[in-house]
């Protein structure tokens, strides 16, 4: 049974602890956080010196605290991994064996998570440690992907486009509705269908709309409608241009 200590008590730490608790291949033996609060019944500490001996230390704290926390660990040569998509493996202290255990999903505090479908992207400095991380990952998910640093950084960047930026376009849709006394609910079936379509079709093939058809008449009408909102207008122009730059002949 692989023993894990989880550092942090935020979103990711809490979901991981709850999920590992249900696995019989790994065991979370301790939780560290600054308030020493127990998460999901796991013994907790707020004292680095009181950290137990474990096979893996998972640092699930804010990106900018990862380096500092890893430097405070009072031991050497053990396997320590962070859970961030954007932080370099090298930001972990070289005193320990370093790794990454990045769940490619967006977590909400109050919403239960089914880890079995979440891609876990793992990275390590040697095969042996990669095998440990892979074993731990497979204990909770069917989708485990060893990646290198460059690939993980790219995934995190892609995630910003398909999650943060997509959500912002939903917010613009919501804003346009509000300003015209329309319920945002009207757009929800379209949003759901748009997301569903790419499950079985590459997004470039699924592309439709005035930009794709180069329907100048509609494009011009839409730009006029956005005259009062210069930022939305720029987004409309830029995304239209980008759609038109795509290589459709390669389909």
Ligand X SMILES: NC(=O)c1ccc[n+]([C@@H]2O[C@H](COP(=O)([O-])OP(=O)(O)OC[C@H]3O[C@@H](n4cnc5c(N)ncnc54)[C@H](OP(=O)(O)O)[C@@H]3O)[C@@H](O)[C@H]2O)c1
Binding residues for its own copies restricted to 173-212, rule: CB under 8 A: 173-174, 176-177, 179-182, 184-195, 197-199, 202-204, 206-212
Residue count at the site for its own copies (CB under 8 A)? Answer: 87
Among residues 93, 119, 138, 146, which is the contact residue for its own copies, using CB under 8 A? Answer: 119
Q: How far is the CB of 14 from ligand X (least distance, A)?
A: 7
**Which of 34-42, 44-52, 53-61, 150-158 is the region at the interface with its own copies (rule: CB under 8 A)?**
150-158
- Is 29:54 a contact under the CB 8 Å cutoff? yes
Question: Whose Cβ is closer to its own copies: residue 93's or residue 194's?
Answer: 194
Residue 126 binds its own copies, judged by CB under 8 A: no
Q: Name the pairing type of β-strands 2-7 and 56-59.
A: parallel
Residue 91 per-residue DSSP state = G
DSSP 3-state assignment of 66?
helix
Q: Which residues are CB-contacts of 220 (< 8 A; sequence separation ≥ 6)?
A: none
Q: Give residues in contact with ligand X (CB under 6 A).
A: 8-13, 33-35, 60-63, 65, 68-69, 82-85, 102-103, 106-107
Q: How far is the CB of 158 from its own copies (least distance, A)?
A: 4
Query: Distance of CA 242 to CAs 46, 115, 211, 234, Å?
Result: 50, 34, 9, 12
With CB under 5 to 8 Å by kind, the binding choice for 25 among its own copies, ligand X, none is none
DSSP 3-state assignment of 29?
strand
Residue 48 binds its own copies, judged by CB under 8 A: no
Q: Name the pairing type of β-strands 44-45 and 144-146.
A: unpaired
Residue 169 binds its own copies, judged by CB under 8 A: yes
Q: How far is the CB of 222 from ligand X (least distance, A)?
A: 13
With CB under 5 to 8 Å by kind, the binding choice for 146 among its own copies, ligand X, none is none
Dist. CA 249–CA 228, nearest whole Å: 36
With CB under 5 to 8 Å by kind, the binding choice for 149 among ligand X, its own copies, none is none
3-state helix, strand, coil in the chain (%, to 5): 50, 15, 35
């Amino acid at each position: 049974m692989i023993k894990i200590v989880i550092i942090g008590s935020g979103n990711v730490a809490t979901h991981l602890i709850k999920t590992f608790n249900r696995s019989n291949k790994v065991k979370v033996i301790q939780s560290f956080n600054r308030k020493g609060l127990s998460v999901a019944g796991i013994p907790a500490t707020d004292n680095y010196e009181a950290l137990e001996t474990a096979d893996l230390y998972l640092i699930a704290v804010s990106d900018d605290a990862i380096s500092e926390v890893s430097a405070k660990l009072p031991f050497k040569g053990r396997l320590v991994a962070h859970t961030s998509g954007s932080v370099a493996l090298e930001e972990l202290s070289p005193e320990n064996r370093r790794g990454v255990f990045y769940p490619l999903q967006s977590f909400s505090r109050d919403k239960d998570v089914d880890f079995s479908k979440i891609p876990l992207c793992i990275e390590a400095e040697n095969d042996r440690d990669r095998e440990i991380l892979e074993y731990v990952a497979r204990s909770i998910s069917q989708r485990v992907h060893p990646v290198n640093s460059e690939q993980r950084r790219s995934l995190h960047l892609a995630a910003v486009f398909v999650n943060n930026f997509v959500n912002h376009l939903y917010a613009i849709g919501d804003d346009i509705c509000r300003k015209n006394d329309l319920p945002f609910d009207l757009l929800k079936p379209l949003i759901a269908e748009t997301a569903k379509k790419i499950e079985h079709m590459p997004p470039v093939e699924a592309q439709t709309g005035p930009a794709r058809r180069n329907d100048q008449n509609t494009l011009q009408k839409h730009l006029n409608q956005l005259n009062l909102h210069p930022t939305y207008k720029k987004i409309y122009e830029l995304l239209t241009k980008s759609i038109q730059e795509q290589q459709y002949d390669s389909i």
